[in-house]
Amino acid sequence: MFESIYQLLGQSIILVVIVLIILFLLAILLGKILIKNDILIFPQLIIFVLDIFYSPLKKVAKTLKFDESLIDHIGVEVRNNVNRAKFLKIPPEKKLIFLPHCLRHRECEAILNETGLVCTRCKKCSIGFIMEKAEPMGYKSFIVPGSSFVKKIVKENKFEAVVGIACYEDLNQTMMNLSDFHPQGAVLSRTGCYETKVDVKSVLEVINYKDPEKVKEVNPNKDLCTNKKKV
């Protein structure tokens, strides 16, 4: 009797693994089509698979020697595409934008309060630049040191849509948790825990900033707002 139970259990585990691999390959295939050709196929299926099987899929990716960040990359791209139309219909006054504290310059003068860091607009990093463009539009912006601040801000503010800036993994998980608020995300061009970078122009495109000509030359990889003199 026990042998039959163990055999059935073993077969069930193998079946689950096979199903996960099939779902993984399907999500990867559909996600790569989107990333490469900007064609969105079965988006709700992709989101369902990524949300329900997120951790197992990451393990499958690692086992199959895939880049684990590909799961989050696909998640961000699909969510951006699926939510874009509804996001654009919501006025900026009903939107929040979260900026990561790791974008700060090493000589940042910001102070910390209960909702995150308070930018002094010192012009040493891209945070102040983004806020100066977003806030006049109506966005409410926050510089967050961690997910606990995001939870507090979400709980204490009334809003209908949200924009986030982060690495693929953090951004995908945040967009997943805030899926009811038509999230849009911009990915860091240089990741890490210190002096990261983001393509400012891409952020302004995400928030639907209407005067891109004035920021055409903005490039965080060229020491944007770092007050460094070239010699």
Whether residues 28 and 142 share a domain: the answer is no
Determine the pLDDT at residue 213. Answer: 58
The answer as to whether 115 is a domain residue is: yes
* Cβ atoms 212, 205 nearer than 8 A: yes
> In the prediction, which pLDDT does 212 show?
54
pLDDT of residue 225: 43
Tokens of 188: 């860091």
What is the model's pLDDT at position 3? 66
pLDDT at 81: 93
Long-range contacts of 83-89 (CB under 8 A, 24+ apart): 83/182, 83/183, 83/184, 84/184, 86/161, 86/182, 87/161, 87/182, 87/183, 87/184, 88/208
Q: At what angle do helices 2-37 and 54-63 cross, to 10 degrees?
A: 90
| Same-domain check for residues 129 and 175 | yes
Residues 133 and 202 in one domain: yes
pLDDT of residue 147: 83
Say yes or no: 93 and 62 in one domain. no
Which structural domain, as residue segments, surrounds residue 114? 89-231
Of the candidates 139, 101, 96, 146, the residue with the CA atom closest to the CA atom of residue 119: 101
Indicate whether 80 belongs to any domain. no
Number of independent structural domains in the chain: 2
Asked whether residue 71 is domain-assigned, the answer is no
How far apart are the C-alpha atoms of 4 and 2, rounded to whole Å?
Answer: 5
Query: Per-residue pLDDT for the chain (231 aa), expressed as one digit of tens each?
Result: 656 766 666 777 778 778 777 877 777 788 878 777 778 888 888 888 888 888 888 887 888 787 878 889 999 999 999 999 999 999 999 999 999 999 998 888 888 888 889 999 888 899 999 999 999 999 999 999 888 899 999 999 999 999 999 999 999 999 999 999 999 999 999 988 888 999 999 999 999 998 755 555 454 444 444 444 433
Indicate whether 41 belongs to any domain: yes
Do 147 and 100 fall within a single domain? yes
**pLDDT at 207 (0 to 100):** 96
- Model-level pTM greater than 0.85? no
Amino acid letter for position 1: M
Closest CA to 104 of 123, 81, 85: 123
| Residue 77: inside a domain | no
